[in-house]
Structure 1
Amino acid sequence: MADFDLKKENDAEGGEEVYSKAVRAGRRTYFFDVKATRNDDYFLTITESRKKLGKDGNFFFDKHKIYLYKEDFAKFADGLDEVVNFIKEHKPEFFAGQQDGELPGETLSVDDEFEKL
């Protein structure tokens, strides 16, 4: 039954998972998933996931997802690079103790990330 649910989710997103990277950053986890269409074009989904406490006392995950398509990769990367460089220039203390290009937080494999949940 779990395989069916996974397949259904992949079909709903329109692609087969090719590569995945989970980045733990404080209270948030970011998932970068490269997927392939039936025509073997790649697209990227970026998911922000935060564990929250519901009114009923149970935990749930609040997720936000962005789909990024091949025709937008370069412009997206340029825009992200520009705003990160702006922040580095105006608030360098935000990047103290980090290597260039490294995101804050612990980088984990997707399997390790799900094990922690």
Structure 2
Amino acid sequence: MGARGELFTTQIYLENRSYFFNVKENRTGDVFLQIVESKNRDGVEADRHQIAIFAEDMQKFLQGLEKSLDYVEKDRKQRQKAAKEKRAEKDAKYGAGKKVYRVKSEKGEKAEKRADDGIKRTGKVIHIVSKKSTDNE
């Protein structure tokens, strides 16, 4: 038995996270899996989270994990299919490989559609024009 009851350890290193899968035995002889996630920030180990799954619960845990992975895979395929259909629809409408650009409407059309709301719109900046009350009101 290794240090702190470790029977087996494996590690996975990702970009800014590390995962440790430790099979351990406690003082009473119970075997469990400890999963530790360690997040690195600015070269310093900042966050560390862990969960423990006991041997009698591992099959249920794996079933839940497999269901989750199946859902993720199914969702990924659906998203790919939807994106492919959207791309095919766009290609059918505008022609394959062509880029579609939005055409700005004429100033007259915009002015007719929009009621005077006291906002002066010039490009990307919106200017609020205050309405001065007249003596007649």
Larger relative contact order (Cα-Cα within 8 Å, sequence gap ≥ 6): 1
**How big is each residue's C-alpha offset from its partner over 1:51-82, in whole Å with a ceiling of 9 and x where there is no partner?**
113xxxx7233100001111210110000000
Aligned residues of 2:6 and 2:22 also touching (Cα < 8 A): yes
Aligned to 1:25: 14
Q: Secondary structure at 2:27's aligned position in 1?
A: coil
- The number of residues matched between the two structures is 77
Gaps of 5+ in 1: 1-6, 11-15, 93-117
TM-score, normalised to structure 2, is: 0.50
> Shift in Å at residue 26 of structure 1?
2.4
- Which structure is higher in strand share? 1
Larger Rg: 2
Instruction: Supply the AA of the counterpart residue of 1:44.
Output: L
TM-score, normalised to structure 1, is: 0.57
Aligned to 2:23: 34
The percent identity for this pair of structures is: 31
Separation of aligned partners in 1, 2:46 and 2:12: 16
Separation of aligned partners in 2, 1:27 and 1:52: 7
CA RMSD of aligned residues (A): 2.3
Query: After the TM superposition, which residues 58-73 of structure 1 pair with which residues of structure 2 at under 5 Å, given as runs?
Result: 59-73=44-58
**How big is each residue's C-alpha offset from its partner over 1:61-108, in whole Å with a ceiling of 9 and x where there is no partner?**
31000011112101100000000011011114xxxxxxxxxxxxxxxx
> Shift in Å at residue 24 of structure 1?
1.2
Match of 1:47 among 31, 36, 48: 36
Query: After the TM superposition, which residues 3-18 of structure 1 pair with which residues of structure 2 at under 5 Å, given as runs?
Result: 10=4, 16-18=5-7
